Chain A
Amino acid sequence: MSRHFSLLRDTRHLQAVALGLIVLGGGLIAARSHLIPKSFGEHGPYRGDALTEISAQQPVLTSDTTCLKCHDSVRKERAESPHKDVACLHCHGNGHEHMAQAANAAADPSVTIEKAKPWDGDFFTKLDLFITKDRATCLSCHEKVVGMPAGFRSIDVKSHLADQGAENIDSPDVCFECHTGHSPGI
């Protein structure tokens, strides 16, 4: 009937199959260890190093605590004002270069910290510090827009300036005739 299996006769075939399996298995293991990143599975089914890479990115925006380390007087001015929750960078920009200079100056007293420049009207591209005695800064929040909550102090510029009897209606710093930035309430 059928030919019986004989270990002796089929040895060469078996060897070939075994060799093939070993090569295939070894190749798969090598490919697997090569393709799967080392840190994969450290915290879960993902590359663990990705977590440290993302958290190692440096923050760009400056938080208030950094500014108030040196400018402590502003903290007192703002304490009771409606602007107490308004961060420095909302009106003054981010101050990246300013702080780099401050750090250098702390290490080496001969380094001078540059004075802030006037605002160029662009919050978006600016990472440096600027002074903003400019109505556009105020109006970026306080101009009346449909959708604002009722409790928020928003104005229609023309009628507000007329009502309050502002002197230089077209001047950029017209708001500062009555208000100050850090403590604007009246």
Chain B
Amino acid sequence: MNTSHDSDGASGCGNRPATSGLNILNQGTPCGGGGSCGGVSCGGEQRSKADSRRQFLSRATSMVFGSFALTLLPMESPESTAETPLPAPPNGGAIPAPPAASVAKPVLYGFLVDTEKCIGSGKCLSACRTENHVPDGYSRTWVERYVHFKDGTVQVDLVPEAGYHESKLPIVDAALVDKAYFVPKLCNQCVDAPCNQVCPVHASFTSPEGVELIDTDRCIGCGYCVQACPYGMRYINPETNSADKCTWCYHRITKNQEPACVEACPVGARVFGRLDDPESELSKRLGAVRTQVLKEYLGTHPKLHYVGLSGEVV
């Protein structure tokens, strides 16, 4: 057969068309060493094979690029398209800015803590407890004291809620201290809040003003969020069996009042305000002084800013 391939190839092929077809399908090598099949029909199969491969490649390519092209489409939620006005034209742009009344500007709250002002009186602590009915043994906010001793050690302790006066705490000898300062802690209200992301029942949520809140009716008390918060802000409230946390006093700020701790601070170490309003005291302070956030490397993007932090503060 091999030798007579050229001469009677066509007739051989004609004799066993079905077999040759099967061979092609099964082996995928129609013109292999067997040579049972004629050059004409083999050539035809090769062409169609090549055609189908070309077709396949062209379709695959267009599909791949097509799916990439899909990612270029603008991704916007209906909410944001409804609320956000068109991007402001550059100065001197022909398009006039939309009138302020027609578009409701989204409110965004922020917080600034000035550690250079805090005196550790602890008034914010009892104010928060009273305002938010925080059970004993739990806290939505606390104030840490960092004491850097001359021997290089750093001591961190908590400011007592009733203040240092008559607190019976051991008195730190000022002669041994290099520097010492107070750091109030409260919810960072992260833009990318890890606590919010782990909630399995959508009980943790972000208000339209950017405040992380908890729906106590939906919370099942699993405590994932308590573990997820890198700042240790959350706890399970033993009275409600629900997760609980600092809300920047959402019930006060929505009534145009300041959070309880801000109200209670006698030295203005806590500043609350609107980030979206460039005329607010907060925006002006943030623009004028150098600030830091806690654990910036975690990428949580806190809306709580600090003035005068030292590297030891975490």
Contact = CB atoms under 8 A, between A and B. Distances in A.
Closest A-B pairs by Cβ, 6 of them: A46-B205, A50-B215, A57-B251, A147-B180, A55-B254, A146-B172
Contacts of B130: 60-61, 94, 124, 127
Interface string B119-163: 111010011011100000000000001110000000000000111
Q: How large is the interface on B (under 10, 10 to 19, 20 to 34, 35 or more residues)?
A: 35 or more
Interface string A28-59: 00000000010010011111001100111111
Contact of A61 (B121, B145, B163, B264): B264
Interface of A: 37, 40, 43-47, 50-51, 54-61, 63, 85-87, 89-90, 94, 123-124, 127, 136, 139-141, 143, 145-149, 152, 154
A94 B127 CA distance: 10
A143 B121 CA distance: 9
B213 interface: yes
A90 B202 contact: no
A131 B47 CA distance: 102
A154 B264 CA distance: 19
B164 interface: yes
Given A46-B202, A56-B251, A85-B266, A149 B116 contact: yes
B260 A60 contact: yes
B263 interface: yes
B49 to A, nearest CB: 31
B279 to A, nearest CB: 20
Nearest to A64: B263
B131 A59 contact: yes
B268 interface: yes
Interface in B247-293: 247, 249-252, 254-255, 257-258, 260, 263-264, 266-268
Contacts of A37: 218
Contacts of B111: none
Given A57-B251, A61-B260, A147 B182 contact: yes
B181 A140 contact: no
A3 to B, nearest CB: 27
A60 B79 CA distance: 34
B266 A87 contact: yes
Nearest to A83: B266
A124 B126 contact: yes
Interface in B170-195: 171-172, 174, 177, 180-182
Question: Which of B126, B171, B205, B255 has the most C-beta atoms of chain A within 10 angstroms of its own C-beta?
Answer: B205
A152 B268 contact: no
Nearest to B121: A141
Given A50-B218, A54-B247, A59 B255 contact: yes
A89 B264 CA distance: 7
A136 B163 CA distance: 10
B301 interface: no
A58 to B, nearest CB: 7
B165 interface: yes
A140 B251 contact: no
A98 B17 CA distance: 107
B217 interface: yes
B168 to A, nearest CB: 13
A145 B126 CA distance: 19
Nearest to B181: A147
